[in-house]
Structure 1
C-alpha cells in the first residue's frame, strides 16, 4: 500500500463531507420498498427519522482544523465511522423487532450489505481487496444473501479498524505492521470470494478486479492466495476468477484493436 493511496482515502473521506457508513432515505426505500405498510410504515419511519437526526449530529461536528495532521485526521475519521456504525447497528436492531418474516429479514440484510459495502469504498486503502455487492449486480439465492450478511456481521468492524490503522501506520512509515494488516485483509477477501464465487460473471469480475487494465494486481492476488491458503476450494475459485479475468482482458484488447481500425 502506498502513501498516495492513503492520502486518496483521506481526501475521499473529507471530500464526501458525510460520515460513513450512512443509511440514506434512498437506501432505506430501496431495501424495504413495498414491504413497509400500515402500522409498520409509521413505526419504521419514526425509527429512521430518529436515526437520521443522530447521524446529522455526527456530520455537524468539527472534523478538522489547521493543526490536524493526516494521522490525527484518520483517527478522528475512525472515531466518527465507529459512532456512525453503532447508530446503523441500532437502526437495524430496532427495525428487526418490527417483523420477523423472511421478507423483512431479507430487507434488513439487503440494507446492511448495501450501506456497509458502499461505506467500505471510501476507506479501503487496498484496491485489490474489493467486497463486491454481488446481489446488486446479479440474482443470488436468499441463502447467499444471508451468508454475506453473516460475513459482514463477523468481519466488518475489525476490517474497518484495520483499514484505518493500516493507513495511519503507512503514513508513519511502519511498513512491516502495515503488511500484517494487509495479509489479514487478503484473508478476509478470500473468505468473501468463497461465498460469491459461484455467481461471478464478467460484470461482477470487472468490479472485483478494479485494476484489470494492467493485470499485475490480479496476478499478485492470485499468487498470494495460492501461497498462503491450503484450501482446495479457494484455489479452484481463484483459478475460475483468473479464467474470467482473461476472458474480459481479451475482449478489452479486441475492442481496443477494433476501435483503432
Structure 2
C-alpha cells in the first residue's frame, strides 16, 4: 500500500512515567536517534487495543508518517519535524497540524483491516473499542467546551459508553478539558483522508487495477505536515495529473469524455441563461 518507503529505524522502550498506554517520539532528522515507541509498563493498562495502538503510533501510523516527512525534499524543517518542546503549551505551540497528523493516525488503524493485521476477535474488539472511544470523546469535547459539562459528568459519560476504566478516562478528560477541540480534530482529519481516497477511487477508473492507493498515500505523506486545505490542494493536483496520464494512454476515456460532456452541458446552460436574461433586460428597457 506504500511506495519508496524510507528506511528509518524504530525502537520500542519502556515509558519512564505512568502516562497513556503508549506514545511515539519522532526520530532526529540526521538519523542519530531512531523513532521510539514508549510502552507504559508502569501500571495496569488495557492490552486488547495494543494492535490498533501500534498501527496508530508506529507503522503505518506516526513513525511511517514522520519517516516520509524527514526524508522529503524541498519542504521547510518545521514541516519535516514536529517540535514537541511546547507540546502541552497551548496556545503557544508552533503551528501543529493535528488534523493532518492525528487524522493519519486514525486512518492507519483502519489500514489494519486492509493489511490483515488483526489476528483474532480480541484484537478486532480493541480496534472497534477505540473507534467507540473516539466517537464518545467527540461528545465529551463538545459537552465540556460548549455545554458546560462538569469533569464528573464527562467521566461518567465515557465510563458508560466505552470499554475503559474510570481511572484511565479521568486522565483523558483532564487532557480534553485543557485542549479544546484537539480530540475532535483527530476525526476531522481521518474523515478528510477517507473522503479523498473515496474520491480518487470514483474519479480514476484504474485506481484498483494500477494500485493507485500507493501514489495517493505518497501525496499525503511525502509533503510533510500541512493544513487539511493544503493536503486537499495537493490531492487535486495529483488527480489532474492522473487524469491527464489516462488521456495520453487512452485509458479511462469514457470517464474523461463524460466529464468533458458534462462541462459542455454546463457551459451551454450558462450561455442560455445569459442570453435569456439579456433578452428579458432588453424587453424591459
Higher strand share: 2
Larger-Rg structure: 2
Q: Which has the higher contact order (CA 8 A, sep 6+)?
A: 1
Higher helix share: 1
Shorter-chain TM-score above 0.5: no
TM-score normalised by L of structure 1: 0.30
